Amino acid sequence: MNFHEELLVCARPIWDVMLRHPFLTETAECRIEDSVFANWLQQDHLFVQGAVPFIGVLLSRAPLAVRPGLVLALTALHEELELFERIASERNITRQDVKMTPTCHHYIQFMLATAYSASFEEGFVLLYGAERAYFDSWSWVRQNLKGTSPWQPFIDRWSSEDFRQWIEWIETSLDGLAEKSSPLLRENMKEVFRLTGEYELLFWDMAAKGESWPV
């Protein structure tokens, strides 16, 4: 079994809950409330803004062979930010004065702390966890879609053939890195992957239920 497959087997219980999440089922059944989807859109827009420095730090620490893929990812993130901005203005969703929720804040801090202070391999496995979670979640929505979704551009973005190829590139690179890693480092990478899956679940929960700071 390749390393990325081992990660997915260990995280299966998290993925099982994620792929039954009400946010995804309601989106697939085209009955998600606009305000709930808008909540996700606003927070994910902030999340993707936070992902730019995360990839930037990873890039600065990456082995030569992995750099070209991460450079492409940075360009893709800027296209993605334009997508958020376009849909938000088409749907009258404000992007002014939107506060980051605790979950979004914690997740971004976890990403930046891992990229800066853990090994490159642990940062890279975090990237895999976040991307794979989105690929699986939005592909599930696409496969189970009933009707025409007003949010189709987001479904298309993370379930596309281009995105699948990007995931495959991460998996091949990750398997190569894991082959050269010590057993201890591989265990640490598994833990980062597990935590990333948990954060992904928290993110869907936050979007579906709403969340605010105590004061």
Between CA 197 and CA 212 the distance in angstroms is: 22
If binding means CB under 6 A, how many residues of this protein chain bind ligand MP5? 12
By CB under 6 A, residue 51 contacts ligand MP5: yes
By CB under 6 A, residue 155 contacts ligand MP5: no
Stretch in the footprint of ligand MP5 (CB under 6 A) among 62-70, 89-97, 109-117, 131-139: 131-139
Tell which one of 17, 59, 77, 185 touches ligand MP5 (CB under 6 A): 77
By CB under 6 A, residue 136 contacts ligand MP5: no
By C-beta, is 73 or 178 nearer to ligand MP5? Answer: 73
By CB under 6 A, residue 47 contacts ligand MP5: yes
Cα separation of the two ends of the chain: 48
Tell which one of 111, 130, 141, 189 touches ligand MP5 (CB under 6 A): 130
Between CA 170 and CA 73 the distance in angstroms is: 11
| Contacting positions for ligand MP5 (CB under 6 A) | 44, 47-48, 51, 77, 80, 130-131, 133-134, 200, 203
